[in-house]
Amino acid sequence: MRKILLVILVINGLYFNGYTQDLIIKTTKDTIVCLIKEIGDDEIKYTQQGFRGDVIFGIDKNKVSKIIFSDKKELSFQNSMEDPSKYMVQHKNAIKFGFLSPLMGATSFSYEHSLKPGSSIEGTLGIIGLGVDMTGNNASGIYMKFGYKFIKSPDFYLKGMQYAHLLKGSYIRPEISFVTYKSESGNRYDYNGVLMTNSKSVGSSTMFAVMINLGKQWVFQDRFLFDWFVGFGYGFGNSHNDDIYHFAFEGGSSGSSFAATSGFRIGILF
What pLDDT, in 10s, does the model give residues 54-106? 899 999 999 999 999 999 999 999 888 888 888 999 999 999 999 999 999 99
In the predicted model, is pLDDT for residue 192 greater than 80? no
Q: What is the pTM of this model?
A: 0.79
- Report yes or no: 172 and 179 within 8 Å, Cβ to Cβ: no
Measured in residues, the chain has a length of 270
67: buried, middle or exposed (CB in 10 Å: 19+, 13-18, 0-12)? Answer: buried
Residue type, 54: D
Give ranges for CATH 2.30.30 in the chain.
20-77
CATH of domain 20-77: 2.30.30
Helix or strand (DSSP H, E) at 20: none
Give ranges for CATH 2.40.160.20 in the chain.
85-269
3: buried, middle or exposed (CB in 10 Å: 19+, 13-18, 0-12)? Answer: exposed
Burial 176-187 (b: 16+ CB within 10 A, else e): ebebbbbbebee
Question: What's the confidence (pLDDT) of residue 94?
Answer: 98
Decide which of 127 and 160 is more confident: 127
What pLDDT, in 10s, does the model give residues 106-155? 999 999 999 999 999 999 999 999 999 877 788 999 999 999 999 998 88
Looking at every residue in the chain, the average pLDDT score rounds to: 88
What pLDDT, in 10s, does the model give residues 141-159? 999 999 999 999 888 777 7
Distance, in Å, from the CA atom of 124 to the CA atom of 129, rounded to the nearest integer, reads 16
In the predicted model, is pLDDT for residue 198 greater than 80? no
How would you list the strands of the sheet with 64-68, edge to edge? 57-60, 43-47, 31-39, 22-26, 64-68, 74-76
Portion of the chain with pLDDT greater than 90, in percent: 69
Question: What's the confidence (pLDDT) of residue 18?
Answer: 45
CATH of domain 85-269: 2.40.160.20
